[in-house]
Amino acid sequence: MEVVVIGGGIIGLSSAYSLQESGHQVTVIDQTDMASNCSYGNAGYICPSHFTPLATPGIVKQGLKWMLNPESPFYVKPRLSLSLIKWGLTFMKMATPQNVEKAAIPLRDFAFLSEKQYKHWESLPQFKFAYEHKGLLEIFQTQKSADHAMHLVERAHELGLSDTKLLNQSELFAMEPNHKMNAMGGIYFACDGHVYPNKVMQQLLADLKNKGVRFVTNEAVTDFEKSNGKISAVLTATNKYKADSVVMASGSWSRELAEKLNINIELMPGRGYSMTLEDTPYRTNYPAIFIEGRVAITPMDGNKMRFGGTMELTTTTEPPKMNRVMGIIKAVKRYYPEFDLPVPTIDKVWYGFRPCSADGLPYLGRTKKWSNLIMATGHSMVGMSLGAGTGQLVAEIIDEKPTSIDISFYNPERFDR
Ligand SMILES: Cc1cc2nc3c(=O)[nH]c(=O)nc-3n(C[C@H](O)[C@H](O)[C@H](O)COP(=O)(O)OP(=O)(O)OC[C@H]3O[C@@H](n4cnc5c(N)ncnc54)[C@H](O)[C@@H]3O)c2cc1C
């Protein structure tokens, strides 16, 4: 079967990998040269611990407070946008304890499926992307976060993540003895791993090219040719690509593209920034998330240390903002007071747009409107983690095999009314 995959991020490439392995002829089309999409500069967490979706009770109130501070972890570019308003209303509706509860098992199972695939890849000779399974720390500074952490650990145990531990201050400091830390305590999620995303992406690309997957770069998909409830070809400004099946893995650009097919997915680009230092003294033993600061740090690929964060609901054309970067640098110093991160010029800062669905869960599966379209987007904060597993599921859907996990939870038309 001829399959066209739109988008060469981790979702598109892992889909191409599993589809090629399953015997399909695959073409990946990307509007860029695929060297710097959201799948490169992320924190690299492969994290079954992230069983809580983005839309949680309390995040709306917290988000509104943060919006008053230009260096805070959350920002919404003020603008009159119907899609932003619709997204915001759905987000608020979805942010309930019941929905958080319902999402936990599906997210855990999805992450485990994906983790298994990353481990498999790392065992193959063509892949060495610095996968490490050393766990993840979540570090907190306030009593409120400590109380929440206790519940999170209980929930993790209920979900079978039995190696999860609540750490008091001295236990936490013992895990990071090389640097002074300002913290009250932490959680240690032993279930998590991390990769060096840049290597995952580069090695997947090289492997797919070797195996004959065709890449079309610097061409944006602008429309579709349709007949009898099917997509017959994918169109760019200059070319037409015939397809038996189409995978929409176009990340933060997917809402506009889906509109061409009369499909409504609620999705906003959530920009985040990261800086990667090499051979730096500001290096930790473990990847960690600073709970109140909403910053992620990762020691990766031997000599690198990545610092990333912020969630800026914006457009994909808005220039990057230095005050968001300063927010990350200052947050790091609040937890590690000895870490004087060099302030880069804005052109040296990496940023990417997380494809944020209105409930923080992927849109994955076929649609009722187009029988040969598979949506694979909206992975929000966990696209790297769920990436390899998404590819496997996409191939299973196209091959009409039973999927490795139940994907009904990720129905791409769940908000399409
Ligand atoms: C600071 C930061 C830290 C993060 N940390 C983590 C983490 O630790 N773990 C985790 O799991 N996730 C993390 N994420 C989220 C993760 O990076 C994303 O969820 C993931 O990269 C999304 O992958 P994607 O393939 O859907 O999108 P992308 O990587 O953005 O790829 C989409 C591709 O589609 C192409 N495209 C779009 N429209 C078209 C079109 N019309 N025609 C042709 N091509 C098109 C784009 O050019 C792009 O290359 C982080 C994100 C950020 C910003």
Ranges of the chain whose pLDDT falls below 70: 68
Number of domains comprising the chain: 1
Query: In this structure, how many other beta carbons lie within 10 angstroms of the beta carbon of residue 303?
Result: 11
In a domain? residue 256: yes
Question: How close is the Cα of 148 to the center of ligand 1, in Å?
Answer: 29
Residue given tokens 């690309």 in the structure block: 205
Beta strands in 181-318 (DSSP E): 185-189, 193-194, 214-216, 221-227, 230-236, 240-242, 245-248, 267-278, 288-290, 295-300, 304-313
The CATH number linked to 391 is 3.50.50.60
- Among 114, 253, 312, which residue has the most ligand 1 atoms within 8 Å of its CB, making it the best to mutate? 253
269 lines ligand 1 (CB under 6 A): no
Structure tokens at 293: 């600061």
- Cα-to-centroid distance, 39 and ligand 1 (Å): 5
Pairing verdict, β 373-377 and 245-248: parallel
Nearest CA to ligand 1 atom 25: 9
Q: How far is CA 95 from the centre of its chain?
A: 19
Residue of the nearest CA to atom 15 in ligand 1? 381
CB distance 31 to ligand 1 below 6 Å: yes
CB contact at 8 A, 378 and 253: no
Query: Ligand 1: does its nearest atom lie under 6 Å from the Cβ of 216?
Result: no
Q: Is residue 197 part of a domain?
A: yes
Integer Cα distance of 172 and 309 in angstroms? 22
Bridge-based pairing of strands 136-140 and 288-290 is: parallel
* Ligand 1 atom nearest to CA at 378: 26
What is the atom index within ligand 1 of the atom nearest the CA of 12?
25
Structure tokens at 377: 């987007």
Task: Determine how many CB atoms are found less than 10 A away from the CB of residue 28.
Answer: 26
Report pLDDT for 68. Answer: 66
User: Using an 8 Å Cβ cutoff, are 31 and 271 in contact?
Assistant: no
Res 224: pLDDT: 98
Other residues' Cβ atoms within 10 Å of the Cβ of residue 37: 24
Q: Does residue 221 line the site of ligand 1, with CB under 6 A?
A: yes
Distance (Å) of CA 62 to CA 7, 55, 72: 33, 12, 11
Residue 75 is predicted with a pLDDT of: 80
Phi, psi of 279, deg, nearest 5: 45, 45
Q: Which of 290, 353, 384 for mutating ligand 1's site (highest number of atoms within 8 Å of CB)?
A: 384
Q: Atom 28 (ligand 1): residue with closest C-alpha?
A: 9
Identity at 80, one-letter amino acid code: L
Say how many Å lie between the CA of residue 396 and the centre of ligand 1. Answer: 22
What's the pLDDT score for residue 74? 81
Please indicate, yes or no, if residue 416 is contained in any of the structural domains.
no
How far does the centroid of ligand 1 lie from the alpha carbon of residue 12, in Å?
10
> Distance from the CA of 173 to the center of ligand 1, in angstroms?
34
Asked whether 352 lines ligand 1 (CB < 6 A), one says yes
**Residue in 154, 230, 234, 232 with CA at minimum distance from that of residue 187:** 154
Ligand 1 atom with the smallest distance to the CA of 385 is 11
Nearest Cα to 140, choosing from 112, 168, 113, 160? 168
Instruction: Determine the pLDDT at residue 284.
Output: 98
d(CA 411, CA 408): 5
Is residue 116, in this structure, part of any structural domain at all? yes
In a domain, 415, yes or no: no
Give the domain extent around 340. Answer: 2-410
Return the residue matching tokens 């970067």.
Answer: 325
38 lines ligand 1 (CB under 6 A): yes
Ligand 1 atom nearest 219 alpha carbon: 43
Buried b (16+ CB within 10 A) or exposed e, 64-88: eebeeeebbbbbbeeeeeeebeebb
Distances 61 to 57, 97, 103, 323, 384 between C-alpha atoms, Å? 8, 15, 21, 22, 28
Nearest-CA residue for atom 33 of ligand 1: 7
Is-contact 297 284, C-beta < 8 A? yes
**Ligand 1: which of 5, 6, 37, 315 to mutate, judged by most atoms within 8 Å of the beta carbon?**
37
Q: Which residue's alpha carbon is nearest to atom 37 within ligand 1?
A: 250
Would you say 199 and 129 are in contact if contact means Cβ atoms under 8 Å apart? Answer: yes
